[in-house]
Chains A and B, each alone.
Chain A
Amino acid sequence: MKMRIDGREIEVRSGETIMEAARRAGISIPALCYHEAFGGQGHCRMCMVEVQAGGVTRLVVSCTYPVTREVEVKTSTPAIEKIRRDIVTLLYKRAPDSDFMERLYHSYGCSDNTLHANLGERCIMCRLCVRACEEMGVSAIAAVSRGTDKRIATPYDEASPDCIGCGACADICPTGAIEVIEKGSRRVIWNKVFEMADCQRCGRPFATLAQLEYLESRLDRDVVKQRLCSNCRRKEVVGKVRRYNASLPFV
């Protein structure tokens, strides 16, 4: 199936979203809540595009709109750019402490002097953290409450028994909104204190004990029998490959 996007003709699989097809063809559509690992969420509305299908033109969200027939897509029009500027403005005013949002605000040429800046806030509610936590199989955090009060939290803001302190949420957060404090052999995240495990090779604390135990419970023990940091694990693998290659008869 074909789809015309910004004048270019690209190949689409039926049912695939506009965002997926565009990214495969190397066309980027701005987005804040999209991650290729999770697919579209439809929260941020930055990725709105204009779709023409069967004589009807409308604005759709490219990360959730499935292509099921021939469509013509424009990723940028004056109307779309205005929406994006408004969204960036609204999010910057919500999370003015985020450098990421500040850069975006300036790069989109937004200007607003009247809306109240919500000082101290960094979260833009893209919920990538929630999706990451879900993918880890843990689901310790979620979007709680409703309306303008909606926010990301553990149940009742208490230390969650499910949280393994892996920090995947903080890693994926585009605005640095999730606080991770690491001090010596301790990590504090989501109001919960974790003991860290030291790398068996370099001795650096690299993961929480809870995370390693969780992984061990889910994976083949052999895979995680050595507790190594990512650097040392790489060295270990490279060494293994070298030894294996050396053991091969020279061809």
Chain B
Amino acid sequence: MNKSPVNNPDARLVLVCCGTGCIANGGLDVYRALQNELNGDEGVRVDAVTKGTGCHGMCARGPFVRIMPDDINYCQVKVSDVREIVEKTLHGGEVIKRLLFRDPRSKKTVKSHRDIDFYKRQHKIALRNVGVIDPASIEDYMARDGYQSLRKALFTMTPSQVIDEVVKAGLRGRGGAGFPTGLKWKACAAVDRLPRFIVCNGDEGDPGAFMDESVMEGDPHSILEGMAICAYAIGASAGFIYVRDEYAQSVASLGKAIEDARRHGFLGKNILGTALSFDIEIVRGGGAFVCGEETALLASIEGNVGEPRDKYVFPTERGLWGQPTVINNVETWANIPFIIHQGAASFASIGTAGSKGTKVFSVVGKVANTGLVEVPMGTTLREIIFDIAGGIPNGRKFKAVQTGGPSGGCIPESLLDLEVDFDSLARVGSMMGSGGMIVMDDRTCMVEVARYYLNFLAGESCGKCVPCREGIRRFGEILTRICQGKGTVDDLNLLESLSETVQSASLCALGRTAPNPVLSTLKYFREEYLEHIIRHRCPAGICKELTEFYIDPEFCNGCGLCAKMCPSQGIAGAKKQAHTIDQSKCIKCGECVDVCRFMAVKVR
């Protein structure tokens, strides 16, 4: 067994990212190889401790190996690099330049993760321990003040003081709606019926989003501690963590954490010798996106079909099995221990007037460094996309960023300086959602984007209420015919008119926000819709029926790369001469556009 670095201050600490993204790229193999190399009989004896940690954030460059206290950050490490790392770096103290991160803009290598723009500009609260501790070790968590907040709440605060602290912090629910967390707790505590329940919503389902996954995998105890503090504050006896079924590693990590917490007396009967008894159970989701909606989630825990209900009576009054229930999202729970430990004022000093603290975003799509980013509320989109995530790769142009999950909106370039918080995003026709951010470049057709999201929602709506089920079906139908060049200008009015009804008459937030992708693209990219309808042309070259590619001889230098990559052998030309596309062979896949380094392939 490894010695804890806490007890052995001279030992080097080797942190290997074992988040889902890095595991997919071989992170676990690197971790095992390092352990073998360091603990085996052969090889160099180095006093070092290897630790598998949660997600380091910059998933596109994984697997990561971070060596402390030297503060050397290696990325895209392979098993074949392990011996060299041990011999050269751990033993010889030499930095292997080849494995360092190379800044996509300055092209320079960076040794410490602290000097990488991606990390430098972040402010971590919810992710404070993710990537730093071994999630399977409760000692690691406790070494970083873990469960101190629970102690502080239990022994120095009254339940109502705890609630007041959360109210004063100004924390708003990170799951999407942004309801003030403290007020939710207060409302639940005020309902005079027992038992009261606590639920953690870990049913993260937005395409491209993995904020909650990284917390559940990388720092499960922070969620448990947050829930236990709430249990004390509102007088709850049982808690449930509803985890998306696909997140097997989260379930394993949380399960281990719950067992360890029980053993240490942080969960179970008479927590830390007090009168508080509270335990947590994991419930695995059934694979429905709509179960992220809180009333559908509660129905699912109860064993019923995951369909939402009208929320004229909130779950705080009638929730799980009809009992008063507080339901918060994973990221919200992870913020609670920080607030209790550091004080509300410390948390409230970060962020904007209406949205306090930080927010984790998963920045994906057409950016250089895809990954998880935690920044103070009020950080601009430009900072997040360009300064932190490294901007648009391959010399392409930024076109839009879609925030808030499938029913969020698309925000254009003119609004890049928007300071992101709950209210500003809603004002421009999008939403915070749970923090998904999908960046799109100029090879993206906005009509097709709207169609994609509405098709996603058509499959994921619960199908209970008419406006959502039938309305989304019709959005899909209309957008599809526009993408095929069969749309009319009247279709745009019909889309807008239907949107009104779907927004105001749908049962739950899924339906009420479903028109966002349509309305926001209509608002900011109406010209593109009209191009499709009037000129039967898709400017981005995505909608196959409306696209014809050609090679501009002025730009083409005849390198032949497009001809080589063309899957239908539809491009011909002599070497160093301008090439041409045979339209009868072209399948409009766009591969030639993407591979051409001279922007010579154009859309007619």
Contacts and interface: CB of A to CB of B under 8 A. Distances in A.
B591 interface: no
B464 interface: yes
Contact of A87 (B310, B312, B467): B467
Given A59-B505, A114-B494, A45 B458 contact: no
B309 A42 contact: yes
A10 B473 CA distance: 40
B500 interface: yes
Given A66-B313, A82-B500, A82-B501, A44 B461 contact: no
A142 B290 CA distance: 18
Given A64-B310, A148-B473, A87 B460 contact: no
B463 A149 contact: yes
Interface residues on B, range: 35 or more
B312 to A, nearest CB: 5
Name the prevailing secondary structure of the B interface residues.
helix
A211 B51 CA distance: 66
A116 B469 CA distance: 15
A146 B113 CA distance: 45
Nearest to B287: A146
B176 to A, nearest CB: 19
A59 B473 CA distance: 23
A6 B290 CA distance: 36
A53 to B, nearest CB: 11
B504 A83 contact: yes
A42 B507 contact: yes
A70 to B, nearest CB: 16
For B457, B470, B472, B500, the residue with the greatest tally of chain A CB atoms inside 10 Å of its CB is B470
Given A86-B498, A90-B466, A150-B469, A42 B505 contact: no
Contact of B459 (A79, A86, A147): A147
A48 interface: yes
A98 to B, nearest CB: 14
Contacts of A125: 463, 466, 469
B312 A64 contact: yes
A60 B312 contact: yes
Interface string A54-79: 00000111001110000000000001
A79 B504 contact: yes
A42 B466 CA distance: 10
A94 B477 CA distance: 13
Contacts of B389: none
A151 B491 CA distance: 28
A160 B312 CA distance: 36
Nearest to A94: B470
Nearest to A151: B463
Contacts of B464: 42-43, 143, 150
Given A90-B470, A147-B462, A83 B290 contact: no
Contacts of A94: 470, 473
Interface in B413-433: none
A228 interface: no
For A86, A125, A147, the residue with the greatest tally of chain B CB atoms inside 10 Å of its CB is A147
B463 A45 contact: no
Contacts of B310: 42, 60-61, 64-65
Contacts of B505: 45, 48, 59, 83, 86-87
A217 interface: no
Interface in B312-342: 312-313
Contacts of B309: 42, 64
Nearest to B460: A147
A91 interface: yes
A245 interface: no
Contacts of B500: 82
A114 B501 contact: no
Nearest to B472: A148
B48 interface: no
Contacts of B458: 147-148
Nearest to A95: B470
B471 interface: yes
Contacts of A61: 310, 507
B586 interface: no
B400 to A, nearest CB: 26
Nearest to B461: A147
B533 to A, nearest CB: 13
Contacts of B41: none
Given A59-B505, A86-B498, A116-B477, A146 B460 contact: yes
Contact of B501 (A66, A87, A93): A87
Interface string B493-523: 0100110110011110000000000000000
Interface in B121-157: none
Interface in B436-472: 457-467, 469-472
Contacts of B457: 147
A145 interface: yes
Interface of A: 42-45, 48, 59-61, 64-66, 79, 82-83, 86-87, 90-91, 93-94, 114-116, 124-125, 142-143, 145-150
**Which 7 residue pairs of A and B lie closest in terms of their CB atoms, listed nearest first?**
A150-B463, A90-B470, A86-B501, A148-B473, A64-B310, A147-B461, A45-B505
Interface of B: 288, 290, 305, 309-310, 312-313, 457-467, 469-474, 476-478, 488, 490-491, 494, 497-498, 500-501, 504-507
23 contacts: A42-B309, A42-B464, A43-B464, A44-B466, A45-B466, A48-B505, A59-B504, A61-B507, A64-B309, A86-B471, A91-B470, A93-B470, A94-B473, A114-B491, A125-B463, A125-B466, A142-B305, A147-B458, A147-B461, A147-B463, A147-B472, A148-B461, A150-B463
